[in-house]
Amino acid sequence: MSPNRKFFVGGNWKMNGDKKSLGDLINTLNSGKINANTDVVCGAPTIYLDFTRQKLDAKFGVAAQNCYKVAKGAFTGEISPAMIKDCGVGWVILGHSERRHVFGESDELIGQKVAHALAEGLGVIACIGEKLDEREGGITEKVVFEQTKVIADNVKDWSKVVIAYEPVWAIGTGKTATPQQAQEVHEKLRQWFKTNISEDVAKSIRIIYGGSVTGGTCKELASQADVDGFLVGGASLKPEFIEIINARE
């Protein structure tokens, strides 16, 4: 971990929780001992964004889990970056594997969403990652570089972007990429940024890991040179999320 990259931990609550359980979780986070050298952002379900932003301590960021590529219009069921900002929320997660593979979002659409969210002033947690057959077929790099390029083509200001590498085979499966597997992809991604964007961006961009991160796996993952934090799914709904936030003391 480079000293100029602040550790970043995102919690993706996905389609979970209600006002009671999320209220309890928020109270746990607000009263927890949190490492001040870590940026923490909680991804709440759309319907609870306002509730979460009002209740969660100001030291935590809040993210929407998705948004659309335009400011307003006849797009039933969608939300825009302008609406997200109107709730006091500063981040959005885009390109999550569930959006890609459950809901069929293309690289192109994700790129358009990234461009619009950044133009509207949101921070973007942009997700990339290969499926199991792609890893077993030896094309991990090809897949993640292609996904990264479409995101990169839509970014002007990299200071508002965090890249989340999430091997799809490790999300919600209990399988975690080994710290070595995670580090290997993160290192290659950083090299890609150096070659294709700039050395400065390669040094400063935070590349975080997602995929069955728990209190048990987080410390060793956090010790890898190019792992700058986590995007946490199921464990972000539990008290152990505080352990994960504090993985790098």
Could you tell me the CATH number of the domain that includes residue 110? 3.20.20.70
Report CA-CA distances (Å) from 206 to 96, 173, 189.
Answer: 17, 25, 11
Q: Is beta strand 7-12 parallel, antiparallel or unpaired with respect to 123-128?
A: unpaired
Region 49-59: what's the mean pLDDT? 98
CA distance 124 to 43: 11
Whether the pLDDT of residue 33 is over 80: the answer is yes
- 2 part of a folded domain: no
Write the pLDDT tens digit of every residue in 176-196.
Answer: 889 999 999 999 999 999 999
Beta bridge partners of 30: none
Mean pLDDT of the region 17-25 = 98
Mean pLDDT over residues 84-95, rounded? 98
Q: pLDDT > 70: what percent of the chain?
A: 99
Q: Does 201 map to a domain?
A: yes
Query: What per-residue confidence (pLDDT) applies to 235?
Result: 96
Tokens of 169: 């085979």
Strands 38-44 and 61-64 come out as parallel
Residue 1, domain member (yes or no): no
Mean pLDDT rounded to a whole number for the chain: 96
In a domain, 169, yes or no: yes
Distance CA 158, CA 76 (A): 31
- The one catalytic residue among 96, 105, 130, 186: 96
pLDDT tens for each residue of 192-237:
999 999 999 999 999 999 998 999 999 999 999 999 999 999 999 9
Nearest to 1 by CA among 206, 144, 192, 199: 206
Answer whether residue 1 shows pLDDT above 60.
no
Task: Kindly state whether residue 16 falls inside one of the protein's structural domains.
Answer: yes
Encoded amino acid at 104, one letter: G
CA 218 – CA 213 distance, rounded (Å): 6
The letter for the amino acid at 154 is N
What pLDDT is stored for residue 176 in this prediction?
A: 82
Print the domain residue range for 179: 7-245
Is the separation of the CB atoms in 166 and 210 below 8 Å?
A: yes
Angle at CA 122, nearest 5°, toward 213 and 193?
65
Is 186 catalytic? The answer is: no
- Picking from 59-73, 164-178, 194-208, which range would have the lowest pLDDT averaged per residue? 164-178
Q: Which residue in 98, 130, 134, 166 is the catalytic one?
A: 166
Number of domains composing the chain:
1
Is residue 41 domain-resident?
A: yes
* pLDDT at position 2: 57
pLDDT for 3 equals: 58
Please indicate whether residue 96 is annotated as part of the active site.
yes
